[in-house]
Amino acid sequence: MKKQKYNLTEDGFSILGKVFSKKETKSAYTGLSEVIMGKYNTGKNPERRFWNVGDDPNAIIKIDKPHLSNRSVWNLITNRKFGEALASITNSRKIQVWHTQVVWKPKSKLSSGNAGWHRDAQYWPFWSKQGLYTAWVALSNVSIRSGPVQFIIGSNHWDSLSGLDFFNQDLESQNKILKKHNHQKKTISAMLKQGQVSVHSSLTYHSSSANKEENPRVGMVVHFCTEKAKQIAIKGENKNYLNQLKNPGICPVIYGK
Ligand SMILES: O=C(O)CCC(=O)C(=O)O
C-alpha cells in the first residue's frame, strides 16, 4: 500500500493506496450490479433498498447492507488486507463492520446524483463519537467529473450543524448554511483509482455532486467500529439496532478479536 494522504485525526479523513486487486473489485462490482437488479446469490435480502428496479435510472442508487445478499460483496468487506489497512490507519486492535451501503451513481441529470452535506454520526444516536469510521471503497475509477466524495478538512472538530442531510440534494442551500455558520470551508475531492480506499471519521462533513461521466461511479461504503466505540442506550425504534453486533453473519469482525 502506498503512503497515506491526509491525517485521519487532524483532517478527519485519509486516502489510502490501493487495497484491492482488479479481480476483487471487478467481482464486487458485478455482485453489486446483481443486488441492484434484485438478484441475491446468498438468498438473503439486503437490509433496505432506497432504489428499486424500474426507478429513475439516473438517480443515485443506495442499498443498505448489500454484503448480506452477494458472496463477492461479502468477500470484499471481509478481506484480510482491508482489515489490516483499517486497523493500521485507525491505530486499533479490533475492526468490526457493523453496516454497509452501496452508493452507485449513474450519469446524473441535474441534481439526481447529489448526496447532501452530512456527518455520519448524525444518523447514529446509538453510537459514541469515538471509534466510528467509514471506509469508502472505489469499485470504479473516481475522477473529478464523476462526483467524488468531498470532505471538509478539519470538520471532524466542528460542533454539529443543523439543516444538513445526505438525502437533501440541494447542495446550494446547504452551502449557504455552512457559510452562515462562518465556517471556512476547504474541501478535498477524493479522486480514487479502482481498488483505492478513503477513510473518514463519523464526525467529518462530506457530500458529493453530479456524475458527469458516462460510466457509473461506484462506492462500497463500509461503516466500521473499533474497540474504542461505545454503545449508547436510546429509546425508540432503533433502540435494539446494535443487537446485530453479536451476529458475525451480519457484522463480521475483520481484524483482531
Ligand atoms: O458516495 C457518496 O457519494 C456518499 C457516501 C457517504 O455519504 C459516505 O461514505 O458516508
The predicted pLDDT at position 174 comes to: 94
DSSP string, 130-166: TTEEEEEEESS---GGG--EEEETTGGGSPP-SS--T
Q: How far does the centroid of ligand 1 lie from the alpha carbon of residue 140, in Å?
A: 14
Q: How far does the centroid of ligand 1 lie from the alpha carbon of residue 180, in Å?
A: 24
Interacting residues of 200 by C-beta distance below 8 A, sequence separation 6+:
8, 12, 13, 14, 120, 133, 134, 136, 151, 156, 206
Q: CA-to-CA distance for 17 and 118, rounded, in angstroms? A: 25
The predicted pLDDT at position 4 comes to: 63
As separate numbers, helices (DSSP H) first and strands (DSSP E) second, the chain gives 5, 12
Q: Which three cell numbers stand for residue 44?
A: 438473503
Bridge partners (DSSP) of residue 103 are 62, 219
- 153-188 residue pLDDT tens: 999 999 999 999 999 999 999 999 998 887 778 999
The predicted pLDDT at position 256 comes to: 98
Catalogue all structural domains in the chain, each as residue range(s) with its CATH number.
Answer: 8-255 (2.60.120.620)
Q: Taking 80 as the threshold, does the pLDDT of residue 196 lie above it?
A: yes
The predicted pLDDT at position 3 comes to: 52
Q: Taking 70 as the threshold, does the pLDDT of residue 52 lie above it?
A: yes
Q: How far does the centroid of ligand 1 lie from the alpha carbon of residue 119, in Å?
A: 10
166 CA: nearest ligand 1 atom = 7
Does residue 228 contact residue 92 with C-beta atoms inside 8 Å? Answer: yes
Which one has a higher pLDDT value, 31 or 184?
31
Which residue's C-alpha cell is 446547504?
Answer: 174
- 206-225 residue pLDDT tens: 999 999 999 999 999 999 99
148 CA: nearest ligand 1 atom = 3
Q: How far does the centroid of ligand 1 lie from the alpha carbon of residue 208, in Å?
A: 7
Q: Which three cell numbers stand for residue 55?
A: 426507478
Whole-number average pLDDT of the chain: 95
The CB of 20 under 6 Å from ligand 1? The reply is no
Q: Is the pTM of this model over 0.85?
A: yes
Q: Taking 60 as the threshold, does the pLDDT of residue 1 lie above it?
A: no
Q: How far does the centroid of ligand 1 lie from the alpha carbon of residue 104, in Å?
A: 10
The CB of 208 under 6 Å from ligand 1? The reply is yes
In 174-255, where do the E strands start and end? Answer: 187-189, 196-201, 206-208, 217-225, 253-255
Which one of 134, 146, 203, 209 would you pick to mutate in the ligand 1 pocket, going by the greatest count of ligand atoms within 8 A of its CB? Answer: 134
State the average pLDDT over residues 32-61.
97
- Band of pLDDT at residue 105, cut at 50, 70 and 90: very high
The predicted pLDDT at position 184 comes to: 73
- Band of pLDDT at residue 73, cut at 50, 70 and 90: very high
Does residue 245 contact residue 226 with C-beta atoms inside 8 Å? Answer: no
Q: CA-to-CA distance for 153 and 246, rounded, in angstroms? A: 34
Torsion of the alpha carbons at 133, 136, 137 and 143, rounded to the nearest 10: -150
